[in-house]
Structure formats: structure tokens, C-alpha cells
Amino acid sequence: MRTYLTFLYRCFRLSFVGDWRYYTWMFVLTAVSLLGLNAYCKQFVHGLVTTGMTDQVSWGLYIANFTFLVGMAAAAVMLVIPAYIYRNRELHHLVIFGELFAVSAIVMAMLFVTVDLGRPERFLHLLRRFNFPASMLTWDIIVLNGYLLLNLHICGYLIYCAYRGRRPGKLFYIPFVFVAMVWAITIHTVTAFLYSGLGSRPFWNSAVVAPRFLASAFSAGPAFLILTLQVLRRFTAYEVADRALMTLRGIVTVALAINMFLLGSEAFTEFYTDAAHGASAKYLFLGLHGRSALVPWIWVSIAMNLVAMTILFMPLSRRLALLNAACVLLIVGIWIEKGMGMIIPAFVPTPLGEIVEYTPTLNESLVSLGIWAFGLLLYTIMVRITVPVLAGRLRENGTAPAEEGVAHA
Amino acid sequence: MTVRIYEGSGEPAGGGSMSRRSFLRTGTAAAGGITALAAALSPLRELTSDDIPSVESFVQKHYKEMTPKDMEAALARIRARVEKRCGVRPEIRDIRPLDGVEFVYALNLSRCIGCRKCVHACVAENNQSRSPEIQYIRVIEMPRGTLDVEQGNHHYDRPKVPDEGHFYLPVQCHQCANPPCVRVCPVEATWQEPDGITVIDYDWCIGCRYCEAACPYWARRFNFTQPRIPAGQINPNMSYLSNRPRGKGVMEKCHYCLHRTRTGRMPACLEVCPTGSRKFGNVLDPESEVSYILRTKRVFVLKEEAGTLPRFFYYFDERYPRGLDPEAIEIERRLRAEEGDAYGALPGADGPAPQRVAAARWDGGSVA
């Protein structure tokens, strides 16, 4: 116990040590987090009137980000499957960074749901009356918390073992890795069912929502990891093989292609039948009765995804600069597609046929930015601690062989 | 080139002893951080005592778990709060459903003229926020020949209603027998009462708005900010599950004026209706007006395909009960003469389907 507390204390100290780039990055993230906290305090005082949401469009930027982030968290499994099932050696020691990212993505997703609540101080009511199994939201609460605990356990155990200089006992983490693998699929499936289970919203009430969520997540998530791993190897001594990045590139490419295919299938069904329930899709892609706030967004998103897919399919994208460009394009493209393109149009028109458009307010955007900054802050700190521990530079008995500070540059 | 910087042991430079400079630096950074945090939290100073729940209300139980004593205490708290906030001492009770009662609404679309008197009577009765105004009833101006609400106009504004060529479709909570809003609520803050009314415990709702997304009739409303009701406009006749003033961040909706209807009165929207379009009553009583309407009128529900089994029925009035309308009798006589045995045959047999006659009548003949 004492050793563990010392470990936590040293981790805490470690997160304050770095060079000027580290401090700048952390300072910016902290500042943006605090801006978000400030905006949230305003929302807490005045209510959700500080957002752009209305009774007509009753979910907005928060739930859009929540959905996107659940996907990002689930995507960690795309490192785990090749590493543990196909025994891909390059990916094996990188799995932990995927799982740490899953932890921060889940924390962000939960924060996004929390800030969306009208009465956050009543969240304990969930423990006193829990509408399980009827409400899909209760399923989501279970799978998200379960996934968070699983990943915290796996990462925490591996890191602590490295710190103690012990070999991790397989029994204590391998079963959890496999459970987490299946669990990752369930978190995004349940989140999709949250929407597709609503008969009142024809735009969501489609069997393809869950597969589409998974496909888009499995392309945006690994794309994010491709970028992160390069940052990692640029700024730390950690080895990341190019081949690992190329494995991820393959996953991103296939998942993106499937995602585009499913999007096309959805669009075909909505438009070819031309039935009345296609109004939301019409609003999204073409505009409805002269209202077309989302039209530019969705076409920009589709264009970004198509460009990214074209780049990825060309052998040229083995060059990292091009690969990175494609990754950035598709992450942004999928973020738009899932937020602006998936959550908001389901509310337009309302079930009574009224068309009210939604634009996020500045306050709402600041809260969202704050949560993103906080999540990245968390991820940076976790990676900051993990790298020296795994590299054996932070051990239980005494300090590391050498103080590797800025001097090493 | 690889830049390696992030490595370190976690111990401050120079082993255990802290230099004066690093102490000052750490101190300044910590002070700066605390100041920034305080600045970020500063909007919380605007919270009033009204926003911060007392310990008793914080631990208040779910409606269904409250003992009579708990309920008395809760009602006393609400009384005090309303008196402090609105300057009126309310008559607030917990009014329970009656045995052998299932409430049903029926609305005569042939008579409704779209005057929206029901909308405003509802707001006055049920203590909804006036700024921003929350309304439970939405009246849609519909072109004749369709029931597709997407073709309707929610914001019609005419010097005089009704407009020729339109009919008016008022929509409020349909008190479904299979309510999707109840199913999705994560904390069971909303449920169906034995008399068929779906209610909300405003003190239990966490404000996630999942029910609002699930409702196919757009019947639920959210308090995006602290509801405001001018002094003097409060209706002091209240009950726990219906029209007591709500707080910020919770859902609300039509509850068939249960504080009135459970004590033998009619809903406010019905009382104010100048045309008598609105009919309300106990469907389990065969002598009630709604039972008569369900038996004799061609009633229908909105969005039947949603499978929600509404307790809110619409009908177009036919002046005479089925079989007694002289015009229909005349049409039937003529068709029998023309078609002989083929008249009234089931689908698949030759001859016109009898429901075509009805269809041509109730929409004013614009669609045959």
C-alpha cells in the first residue's frame, strides 16, 4: 500500500517535470480547460439556455461529441486485436497507449453527458432508481463505466508492474484484455442503440446505425493513434516502428471504405424511396424548405472523407506526411459526420413537422473545447508517466539510472 | 533527428533539497493556478439560495418511495418555496388516481377552429414559465387532404380563424398506453399512473432529455432556464405531480390537468374551448361521452405506426351516428341498386370498397 502511494506521488511529481515545450503545451491545455470550466459555471447558474439547444433540437454539440468520443474509445481495440489475436509484435508494446487513450476518451465522453444534464447534482438518483434494462441509457452507463474500469485496470496493472520491476502475471491482465476487446464493440453498439431504438426519429431508427458507428470509429480512432504515436516517438525515446503505423494505416483504410459504403447505403434508402420519413436526410444533404444550415457541413465532411480515402488507397500514403494529412482529414470528416451529420438532423424537422435549426453558442463551444483540452491534458499526463516507467527509468528502488531531462535533446 | 525531452525520474532537480529559486517558481505557479481556478469558478457566485438544494430536498425520495409523512414534509417544503418565490400560499396536495378510471381525450377536428384558446388556458392553469413561455399544446394548421404534419403550419397568424381550405390539429401529450418516454428514462422519473396519465416527478428528473427525443408527438418540454411567472399569475390550486411550479433543468408536459380531473372537473383546455371540440372522460364508464364517441365516431390516432397506443383520439364529426346519416343512407340505397350483391363485399371481391364513401366525406371531398 505504502509503495503504491509512493508510486502515485511520484507520478504526480513527474507530471510537473518537462521542458519548455511540455510546459507550454500543458499551460495551453490548462488554460483552455479553465475557460471551459468558467463557461460551464455560467451554464450551471443560468441553465441550458446558455446553449443553442431548444425543445425542438434538444440535443446538440455535447451529445454529438459524446458519440464521437465513445467511438474513439472503442477504437483502442483496433490495436489490441492485431496485437493479441494476430500476434503482431510491433503493435504489442503500443497497445497500452491505445488503452490510455481509451481511458481519456471515456472520461471526456462522460463529461460531455454530464454537462448535458439539466440537473447534474441529481446524478446520484441513478444509484437509487436505475431503469435497467428498459432504458438504453442505463445500458450505456454500465458499459461505459465497465470499459473505463477495465482499461484503468489493464494500464494501471502493467505500469505498476513495470515500476516494481516485476513481470506482469498473465492471469491478472490477459483475461481482462480479451474481455475489453469484446467490451469495446459493445460500448459503441449500445451507444448506437441509444439512438436507433427511438421509433419517433426515423432518421435514427435504422439498423445500419450501429455498424456505421463502428466503422467510423475504427477509422477515426486508429487515425488519431497514428498521429499520437508519431508525436510520442518524436518527443520521447520510445520506439515506434513504421510497420506498426502501416498496420494501423491498413485498418484505417478498410474501416473508412466500409463507413463510406454504409453511408451510401443509407443515403440510397432515404432518397430512392423518397418517402415522407426521409425529411431529415433531405434536410441534411439538400436542405428543406429553404433551411440548409447543415448542408455545407455534410458535404465538406464527405469531401474530406473521400479525399482521405483516395490518399489512403494509393501506395503513396506510405509516406508519413501524406498519411498524416489523410488522418487529419478523416478525423475531422468523421467528427462532422457524427456530430452535425448524425445527431442534429434527427431533430429536424420535429416529430410534428416543425423546422427549427440549431447553432451552438459560444458558451457551449467553450465548454466543449474545455472538455477536449482536459481530456488531452489527462492523456498527456498519463503518457508522460507511462513512457519512463515502461522504459525502466522510473523504478521503485531509487531514481532512474540517469536524469534525462532537457539536456538529452 | 529524435528530440528526447520528456524523460525524467519525477524527482526535482538537485535531489531532495529545493533551491530558493525553484521554491519561488513553484509558489508563483501554484498561486497563479489557484487564482485562475477561482476566476474560472467565479460565475457560481451568482447562484441564489433558490438554486442550492437544502439537505432535506437533496435526500428527498422518489415519489413512489415516499411515506405519507415524507410527502407531507415535501409538500410543506414546496409550499414554503412557492410562497417565498411567488408571494402566494398555494393549496398543494398529492392527488391520487381514482379506482376504475382511465382517462381518454377525444378531439373533434371538424369543429376546431384553431383559435389557440386552449394553448393559453393551459399555460395559465398549469403554472408554466411565461418567459420563456412553455406551452403544452401545439395547434397545427393543416391543408385539407392530408394528415402529414410536415405539411402543416405551426406559426399561422391570421386576423380570423378558421381559414377556408385548412383544418386545425391541436397536439398535446397523448398519454400513451405504451409510452416510449417512460421506457427511456434512466432514473424512472416519469411513469404511467393507473388512470393512464403519464406523470413526472419534477424533483427526481435529472434533465437528460432522452424522453424528449423519444416522444413521437413532441409533447415534452424542458426548462432551459429558471421558469418565471409574474406575481398574480400563479394558480394556487396545485398538486405534486401536476402544476406545482417547476425548477430549472427538468422536464414537464401535459398531465390531463390531473389536479382537476381527479377531483371531478374537466381539463382547462376543454373548459375554455368555444366550439366544444374537446371531449374528455373515463373510458371505463360506458355511459361517458368519450365512450360514446369511441363507439360511434370514426376515431383515429396520430402516428398509429409508432405503436404507442395513445389515449388521445381524433375524429371528424359526421353529424349522425353511423347508419343514421340520411345522406349515407341515400348513397347506400343507390349503390345497392347499382351493384346488387357486390355491394359491401370484402376486399378481393369486385365492386367499390365502402370506405371510399367515408373518405370522400370527411375531408370535404378534396381527395376521393
Mean pLDDT of successive 10-residue stretches along chain B, which has 368 residues: 42 53 85 92 85 84 96 95 89 96 95 92 95 93 92 90 90 97 97 97 97 97 93 93 95 98 97 93 95 93 94 85 71 81 55 34 30
Distance from CA of B282 to the nearest CA of A (A): 27
pLDDT attached to residue A408 = 35
Distance from CA of A165 to the nearest CA of B (A): 15
CB contact under 8 Å between B43 and A131, yes or no, is no
Q: Which residues, numbered 230 to 289 in chain B, qualify as contacts with chain A under a Cβ-Cβ cut-off of 8 Å? A: 248-251
Q: Is B309 on the interface with A (CB under 8 A)?
A: no
Q: Using CA atoms, how far apart are residues B340 and B335, in angstroms rounded to an integer?
A: 8
Q: Using CA atoms, how far apart are residues B5 and A407, in angstroms rounded to an integer?
A: 8
CB contact under 8 Å between B4 and A409, yes or no, is yes
Residues from chain A contacting residue B212 (CB–CB below 8 Å): 55, 58
Mean of all residue pLDDT scores within chain A: 91
Residues from chain B contacting residue A58 (CB–CB below 8 Å): 209, 212-213, 222
- Range of A342's domain? 2-120+128-396
Residues from chain A contacting residue B188 (CB–CB below 8 Å): 129-131
Sign of CA pseudo-dihedral A253, A255, A258, A264: negative
Q: CB-CB: which of A17, A122, A199 is closest to B306?
A: A199
pLDDT attached to residue A350 = 96
Contacting residues for B242 by C-beta, under 8 A, at least 6 apart: B95, B126, B199, B255, B257, B258, B259
Contacting residues for A13 by C-beta, under 8 A, at least 6 apart: B10, B11, B12
Name the β-bridge partners of B143: B166
Distance from CA of B4 to the nearest CA of A (A): 5
Residues from chain A contacting residue B42 (CB–CB below 8 Å): 38, 41
- Looking up cell 497497445 gives A95
Residues from chain B contacting residue A23 (CB–CB below 8 Å): none
Q: Using CA atoms, how far apart are residues A318 and A328, in angstroms rounded to an integer?
A: 15
Is residue A315 in some structural domain? yes
Q: Which residues of A92-104 are buried (b: 16+ CB within 10 A; e: fewer)?
A: eebbbbbbbbbbb
Q: Using CA atoms, how far apart are residues B368 and B362, in angstroms rounded to an integer?
A: 10
pLDDT attached to residue A82 = 87
Contacting residues for B209 by C-beta, under 8 A, at least 6 apart: A58, A59, A116, A118, B222, B251
pLDDT attached to residue B210 = 97
Specify whether the CB–CB gap between B135 and B123 falls below 8 A.
yes
CB contact under 8 Å between B186 and A130, yes or no, is yes
In the 8-state DSSP scheme, what is residue B244? S
Residues from chain B contacting residue A34 (CB–CB below 8 Å): 36-37, 39-40
CATH 3.30.9.10 fits B103-315, yes or no: no
Task: Name the helix (H) or strand (E) containing B142.
Answer: strand B138-143
CB contact under 8 Å between B151 and A352, yes or no, is no
Least confident of A106-110, A242-246, B265-269: A242-246
Q: Which of B9, B49, B50, B62 to mutate to test the interface with A (most CBs of A within 10 A)?
A: B9
B92: helix, strand or coil: strand
Q: Which residues of B124-159 are buried (b: 16+ CB within 10 A; e: fewer)?
A: ebbbbbeeeebbbbbbbbbeeeeeebbebebeeeee
Q: Which of A137, A140, A354, A404 to mutate to test the interface with B (most CBs of B within 10 A)?
A: A354
User: Three cell numbers at A262?
Assistant: 454504409
pLDDT attached to residue B355 = 35
Query: Is residue A402 predicted with pLDDT exceeding 60?
Result: no
In the 8-state DSSP scheme, what is residue B150? G
Query: Residue B187, class by beta-carbon neighbours within 10 Å (0-12 exposed, 13-18 middle, 19+ buried)?
Result: buried
Contacting residues for B106 by C-beta, under 8 A, at least 6 apart: B278, B279, B280, B290, B293, B294, B297, B299, B312, B313, B314, B315
Specify whether the CB–CB gap between B137 and B269 falls below 8 A.
yes
Q: Which residues of A118-138 are buried (b: 16+ CB within 10 A; e: fewer)?
A: bbbebeebbeebebeeebbbb
Nearest to B213 by CA among A350, A356, A288, A39: A350
- Looking up cell 439538400 gives A286
The reply to whether omega before A133 is within 30° of 0 (cis) is yes
Average pLDDT in the A261-271 region?
A: 92
Q: CB-CB: which of B47, B148, B206 is closest to A125?
A: B206
Specify whether the CB–CB gap between B136 and B221 falls below 8 A.
yes
Q: Which residues, numbered 310 to 339 in chain B, qualify as contacts with chain A under a Cβ-Cβ cut-off of 8 Å? A: none
Q: Is B189 on the interface with A (CB under 8 A)?
A: yes
Distance from CA of B3 to the nearest CA of A (A): 5
Q: Using CA atoms, how far apart are residues B254 and B241, in angstroms rounded to an integer?
A: 11
Contacting residues for B32 by C-beta, under 8 A, at least 6 apart: none
pLDDT attached to residue B17 = 52
- Looking up cell 443515403 gives A267
Residues from chain B contacting residue A349 (CB–CB below 8 Å): 150
Q: Is B202 on the interface with A (CB under 8 A)?
A: no
Is residue A405 in some structural domain? no
Residues from chain A contacting residue B16 (CB–CB below 8 Å): none
Task: Name the helix (H) or strand (E) containing B199.
Answer: strand B198-200
pLDDT attached to residue A83 = 87
Which 3-state string (H, E, C) describes chain A? CHHHHHHHHHHHHHCCCCCHHHHHHHHHHHHHHHHHHHHHHHHHHHCHHHCCCCCCCCCCHHHHHHHHHHHHHHCCHHHHHHHHHCCCHHHHCCHHHHHHHHHHHHHHHHHHHHHHCCCHHHCCHHHHCCCCCCCHHHHHHHHHHHHHHHHHHHHHHHHHHHHHCCCCCHHHHHHHHHHHHHHHHHHHHHHHHHHHCCCCCCCCCCCCHHHHHHHHHHHHHHHHHHHHHHHHHHHCCCCCCHHHHHHHHHHHHHHHHHHHHHHHHHHHHHHHHCCHHHHHHHHHHCCECCECCCHHHHHHHHHHHHHHHHHHHCHHHHCHHHHHHHHHHHHHHHHHHHHHHHHHHHHCCCCCCCCCCCCCCHHHHHHHHHHHHHHHHHHHHHHHHHHHHHCCCCCCCCCCCCCCCHHHC
Q: Using CA atoms, how far apart are residues A152 and A145, in angstroms rounded to an integer?
A: 10
CB contact under 8 Å between B154 and A118, yes or no, is no
Q: What percent of chain A has pLDDT over 90?
A: 76
Q: CB-CB: which of A13, A122, A351 is closest to B215?
A: A351
Distance from CA of A398 to the nearest CA of B (A): 9
pLDDT attached to residue B330 = 83
**Closest chain A CA to residue B2:** A234
Query: Is residue A141 predicted with pLDDT exceeding 60?
Result: yes
pLDDT attached to residue A93 = 82
Q: CB-CB: which of A45, A129, A347 is closest to B62?
A: A129
CB contact under 8 Å between A125 and B189, yes or no, is yes
Q: What are phi and psi of A67, to 5 degrees?
A: -60, -45
Q: CB-CB: which of A17, A34, A391 is closest to B40?
A: A34
CB contact under 8 Å between B5 and A17, yes or no, is no
**Closest chain B CA to residue A6:** B10
pLDDT attached to residue A1 = 78
Is residue A336 in some structural domain? yes
Specify whether the CB–CB gap between B56 and B77 falls below 8 A.
yes
Q: Is B171 on the interface with A (CB under 8 A)?
A: yes
Q: Using CA atoms, how far apart are residues A81 and A183, in angstroms rounded to an integer?
A: 12
pLDDT attached to residue A197 = 95
> Count of domains in chain A?
1
CB contact under 8 Å between A350 and B218, yes or no, is yes
pLDDT attached to residue B11 = 44
Q: Using CA atoms, how far apart are residues B123 and A53, in angstroms rounded to an integer?
A: 22
Specify whether the CB–CB gap between B182 and B192 falls below 8 A.
yes
**Closest chain B CA to residue A46:** B225
Please state the separation of Cα A344 from the chain's center in Å.
19
pLDDT attached to residue A79 = 85
pLDDT attached to residue B321 = 61
pLDDT attached to residue A355 = 95
Q: Domain-by-domain residue ranges, chain B?
A: 55-93, 103-315, 326-362
Q: Is B9 on the interface with A (CB under 8 A)?
A: yes
Specify whether the CB–CB gap between A358 and A54 falls below 8 A.
yes
pLDDT digits (tens, 9 = 90+) for A157-179: 999 999 998 889 889 989 999 99
pLDDT attached to residue B320 = 66
Distance from CA of A86 to the nearest CA of B (A): 30
CB contact under 8 Å between B188 and A129, yes or no, is yes
CB contact under 8 Å between A38 and B9, yes or no, is no
CB atoms within 10 A of CB B34: 10
pLDDT digits (tens, 9 = 90+) for A8-65: 888 888 888 888 999 999 999 999 999 999 999 999 999 999 999 999 999 999 999 9
pLDDT attached to residue B235 = 96
Distance from CA of A327 to the nearest CA of B (A): 22
Q: Is B25 on the interface with A (CB under 8 A)?
A: no
pLDDT attached to residue A399 = 55
Query: Residue B23, class by beta-carbon neighbours within 10 Å (0-12 exposed, 13-18 middle, 19+ buried)?
Result: exposed
Q: Which of B1, B2, B5 to mutate to test the interface with A (most CBs of A within 10 A)?
A: B5
Q: Which residues, numbered 67 to 96 in chain B, qualify as contacts with chain A under a Cβ-Cβ cut-off of 8 Å? A: none
Residues from chain A contacting residue B249 (CB–CB below 8 Å): 47-48, 117-119
Q: Using CA atoms, how far apart are residues A367 and A61, in angstroms rounded to an integer?
A: 10
Half-sphere exposure of A80 (CA within 13 A, CB side): 29
Please state the separation of Cα B27 from the chain's center in Å.
55
Q: Which of A51, A121, A135 to mutate to test the interface with B (most CBs of B within 10 A)?
A: A135
CB atoms within 10 A of CB A374: 21
